[in-house]
Structure 1
Amino acid sequence: MLKFKFKIRPVAALSLTAMLMIAGCGSNTAGNAASTGSSAKPSATEAASAPAADRLNIKASFYPMYEFTKNITGGLADVELLIPAGIEPHDWEPTAKDMAGISDADVLVYNGAGMEGWAQQVIDGASGSSLIAVEASKGLEIMEGSEAEHDHGHAHEESGAGEAGHEHSHEEGAADEAGHDHEHDHGHDHGGLDPHVWLDPVMAIREVRTIEAALSAASPGNAAAFKANSEAYVAKLQQLDQEFRVGLQNTKRKDFITQHAAFGYLAQQYGLTQVPIAGLSPEQEPTAAQMAEIVDLAKANDVTTIFFETLVSSSVADAIAQEIGAKTAVLNPLEGLSDEDSRNQQDYLSIMRQNLEALSAALNE
């Protein structure tokens, strides 16, 4: 079994207080909400008819952040997805219009850990506004990109959940745990970090709670409703986590080959080993030597499925599958919805269950 060792380095993130002070003393909207003194959740009709000034205007960077935020806010805020369906988020940069819209918003929800290379520049540019920046990955243990993404010939320790010091807590409490503050690198790439924390349901729970805490602080009048909505969604994520545990517990093999190194957190959480063809960026092309090593590994381990993803070309996965007589299948990193996903009303939970089904099938062949 090919094994990997992921390095963990501390990455600082803004405390909630710092987030609330990024551009001032908070949102005018938050003040309006607080003055009502009401924590009851209005009906859908009441929410829809509420004056715009009483509703948070929230920008969410890419799909998982949008999905989590919508589930927290229900009908009590206006949430806009910055990166539209069908666009690969690694390729997206905000236009001047986008940046102006973010500056005018009450809240920006983004993943962090280097996923949105543009985020810090936008936040800095909004320093004269009342924008509250919510970094959903704040407080999480962020993996560094491993040399394994570039050199499959080295021996590595398995990226399973039992690795000392790298276990995820199953007490999915507040994300701001002692010793887990991180200083994220906001370059135009991931800065060597793996930002794909949302693909681990346990990590997703902690992101949801981080977002909920910040939105409740921004709009105290809606805090009780946000909390109730958050807990209802967390219960669904906990059920998803349990399904992954049961579904992947006794598979015949633990290694899976994927085109994009997006599944390290998921692999670590459920005792699997991700073997990425390329690196953290889905556009990264492997060298001929790396391709040859992957082919040799797949043959040696009787791999019958090579995973590729939506939104980018499957040509590399197709070439390896053809070379070894394997088939290809989709493992969706949920960086955005495809047009087909949108038409079929897919969401985070349904696509994650499709990922579980695909993994279970491939690991039991």
Structure 2
Amino acid sequence: MKRLLVLLVIFLLMVSGCSNTASTKSEKTSEGSKKLQIVTTFYPMYYFAKKVAGNSANVELLIPNGVEPHDWEPTAKDMAKIQDADVFIYNSQYFELWTEKVLKSINDTNLKVVEASNGIKLMDALESEDEEEHGHSEHSSSKDPHVWLSPVLAQQEVNNIAKALEQADPQNKDQFQKNAEALNGDLADLDHLYKETIDKAKRKEFVTQHAAFGYLAKQYGLTQIPIAGLSPDVEPTLGKLTELTELTKKKNIKVIYFEEMTSSKVAETLAKEIGAKTEVFNPLEGLTKEEQQQGLDYIGVMKKNLDALKLSLF
């Protein structure tokens, strides 16, 4: 009888052990299921996608932080990354000018391609006098793609990204929606902060090195006076610089904004000419090394931009 009881206990332990093993294996299979692979072009697209995806996907940044994205071109390795991804997210055909060519050259049958600015009415591009005089520009008769700098339009980009991720991975739809709502809540708070601050401003004009802030200016009733056009590496002619010098003196401009990822030479020249100071105004085309070290993200940099803007408006 004792022997039978011992055998019964051993049998029950074995069954229990098998059950636990099967259960553990099932959990591992569930947790170890293939995550969505997302490739994004530059920092704002990466930030929005990362926030929406959460832990439900792997998100990769194609254009490294600290690299000026206007003139960046993908290598064969970058093209392979895009082809191997489940989802590819870019801002606009007017910003990542290489996307159409790349997408034509790869097999994108199983690739979900997302143009985040889709559905947003883009403004016509501002052309610098230098571009007009030479009669050509890669952005000529084009559109301004810098929509991510408006916290309101950024929410539309987030919605486009969330919708695409839901289609690519329906199992995590609820999670994507929840994450997108949380991010859009932060962007709505940022919009409120900008509006509340700028509504009290005494002045409504600011001078930038390149024409990246048109949507931000339009959103809050400001006027952007750019030194150059949409491309930050195009320097103004002497005539254009003379005209800007007279205009900024007349308007008593005290701050000229520049970007850390491009040369500040032109901004410094104009500032010296009119007795103004220079200040960083970040178009968020990539985080600088210092910003990364400080743990700043899109929201943090946009708040720093607002602080910088106050120097001109108050």
TM-score bucket (shorter structure): 0.7 to 0.9
**CA deviation digits over 1:120-173, x for unaligned, max 9?**
1122223354111000000001011135x439xxxxxxxxxxxxxxxxxxxxxx
Amino acid at match of 1:233: L
Query: Corresponding residue for 1:83?
Result: 63
Give the secondary structure class of the aligned counterpart of 1:74: helix
Q: Which of these residues, 181, 196, 205, is aligned with residue 246 of structure 1? A: 196
> Are the equivalent residues in 1 in contact too, given 2:205–2:312 (CA < 8 A)?
no
Q: Which of these residues, 256, 265, 269, is aligned with residue 306 of structure 1? A: 256
Rg: which structure is higher?
2
- The alignment yields a C-alpha RMSD, in angstroms, of 1.8
Amino acid at match of 1:327: K
How far does residue 344 in structure 1 lie from its aligned partner after superposition? 1.2
**CA deviation digits over 1:271-309, x for unaligned, max 9?**
000000000001011000110111101100110000001
User: Residues 191 and 344 of structure 1: is their aligned pair in 2 closer, same or farther, counting only changes over 3 Å?
Assistant: farther
> Are the equivalent residues in 1 in contact too, given 2:40–2:61 (CA < 8 A)?
yes
Give the secondary structure class of the aligned counterpart of 1:336: coil
How far does residue 101 in structure 1 lie from its aligned partner after superposition? 1.1
**CA deviation digits over 1:104-126, x for unaligned, max 9?**
11010000141101111122223
Distance 2:170 2:140 in 1: 34
Distance 2:232 2:126 in 1: 15
Amino acid at match of 2:295: Q
Give the secondary structure class of the aligned counterpart of 2:55: coil
1:107 aligns with 2:87: yes
> Are the equivalent residues in 2 in contact too, given 1:117–1:190 (CA < 8 A)?
no
Query: Corresponding residue for 1:142?
Result: 122
Aligned runs of 1:170-249 on 2, under 5 Å?
189=139, 192-249=142-199
Aligned runs of 1:250-265 on 2, under 5 Å?
250-265=200-215
How far does residue 219 in structure 1 lie from its aligned partner after superposition? 0.3
Amino acid at match of 2:36: L
196-205 or 246-255, larger mean C-alpha shift:
246-255
How far does residue 193 in structure 1 lie from its aligned partner after superposition? 1.4
1:290 aligns with 2:240: yes
> Are the equivalent residues in 1 in contact too, given 2:227–2:244 (CA < 8 A)?
yes
**CA deviation digits over 1:223-276, x for unaligned, max 9?**
000000000010000000000001111211111110010000000000000000
Query: Corresponding residue for 2:10?
Result: none
> Are the equivalent residues in 1 in contact too, given 2:39–2:59 (CA < 8 A)?
yes
Q: Which of these residues, 65, 69, 73, is aligned with residue 49 of structure 2? A: 69
Amino acid at match of 2:287: L
How far does residue 362 in structure 1 lie from its aligned partner after superposition? 1.5
Query: Corresponding residue for 1:125?
Result: 105
> Are the equivalent residues in 2 in contact too, given 1:115–1:190 (CA < 8 A)?
no
Query: Corresponding residue for 2:285?
Result: 335
Distance 1:93 1:128 in 2: 19
Distance 1:358 1:203 in 2: 21
Identical columns (%) = 49
| Aligned residue-pair number | 281
Give the secondary structure class of the aligned counterpart of 1:141: coil
81-90 or 337-346, larger mean C-alpha shift:
337-346
How far does residue 192 in structure 1 lie from its aligned partner after superposition? 2.1
User: Residues 128 and 299 of structure 1: is their aligned pair in 2 closer, same or farther, counting only changes over 3 Å?
Assistant: closer
Query: Corresponding residue for 2:275?
Result: 325
Amino acid at match of 2:69: P
Task: Tell me the TM-score normalized by structure 1.
Answer: 0.74
User: Residues 128 and 260 of structure 1: is their aligned pair in 2 closer, same or farther, counting only changes over 3 Å?
Assistant: closer
Task: Tell me the TM-score normalized by structure 2.
Answer: 0.86
Amino acid at match of 1:336: G
Structure 2: gaps spanning 5 or more residues: 1-26, 131-136
Query: Corresponding residue for 1:93?
Result: 73
Give the secondary structure class of the aligned counterpart of 1:244: helix
Q: Which has the larger share of helix?
A: 2
Structure 1: gaps spanning 5 or more residues: 1-45, 152-186
